Chain A
Amino acid sequence: DTEVTQTPKHLVMGMTNKKSLKCEQHMGHRAMYWYKQKAKKPPELMFVYSYEKLSINESVPSRFSPECPNSSLLNLHLHALQPEDSALYLCASSRTGALNTEAFFGQGTRLTVV
């Protein structure tokens, strides 16, 4: 099983709303990631969690707040977003936090901020 599951698949939210994106994997992977992808662009890394600890934050605005409650779950809490934050948000996981490991991606959440 190489499945990473993201919910919801689509989300429309207002600029004053608070919402959360969820990601789950049951492959025993200990590294989990959030990527953001704008239309016709490659995915860009936002956050990395390694062994449930935040290891990389690519200078992401504080209106995006990641959380890793356990080794299988990753959340992205959203608050006071702007229309330019509309994008495809992708979650990924890999076997360990070490190098030389293959990453697997979820189907993504397509977010629209109105």
Chain B
Amino acid sequence: GIQVEQSPPDLILQEGANSTLRCNFSDSVNNLQWFHQNPWGQLINLFYIPSGTKQNGRLSATTVATERYSLLYISSSQTTDSGVYFCAVEDQKSSGDKLTFGTGTRLAVRP
């Protein structure tokens, strides 16, 4: 099946710093989403971005489908940004409906 690797695995930032999280995937995808998992386990939708660039406030994301990667940018980080960030993809070759999650990036933002 498709492999989805995220980097870095762990990241510590000082409040106000910027960061870039990366998601690499091993095959062509129909669907790519970025999620933030808060300390209570809730997966919060950040972006639905199978290709192109989107921005939402301090967050933006870019997916280059032909090169099989996506980037999540966090600017002016806040302590509430702490948690785990996952990308999840739907393999073009799959029978459909199957989101495969990446390995995750655990982010801690210090005040």
Where the two chains meet, the residues of A that have a C-beta atom closer than 8 Å to any C-beta of B are 2, 31, 33, 37, 42-45, 48, 50, 55-56, 88, 90, 92, 94, 97-105, 107-108, 110
Chain B residues with CB below 8 A from A104, complex form: 45
Question: Beyond A31-B97, A48-B98, A56-B97, is A99–B30 a contact (Cβ under 8 Å)?
Answer: yes
Complex contacts, A101 vs chain B, CB 8 Å? 31
Chain A hits for B30, CB < 8 A: 99-100
Main secondary structure, interface of A, reads strand
Q: Do the beta carbons of B45 and A102 come within 8 Å of each other?
A: yes
A-B contact pairs, 16 of them (CB 8 A): A37-B41, A42-B102, A48-B98, A88-B41, A94-B97, A97-B96, A97-B97, A98-B96, A99-B30, A99-B96, A100-B31, A103-B33, A104-B45, A105-B35, A105-B45, A108-B41
- Do the beta carbons of B43 and A105 come within 8 Å of each other? yes
In this complex, what residue of B is CB-closest to A90? B43
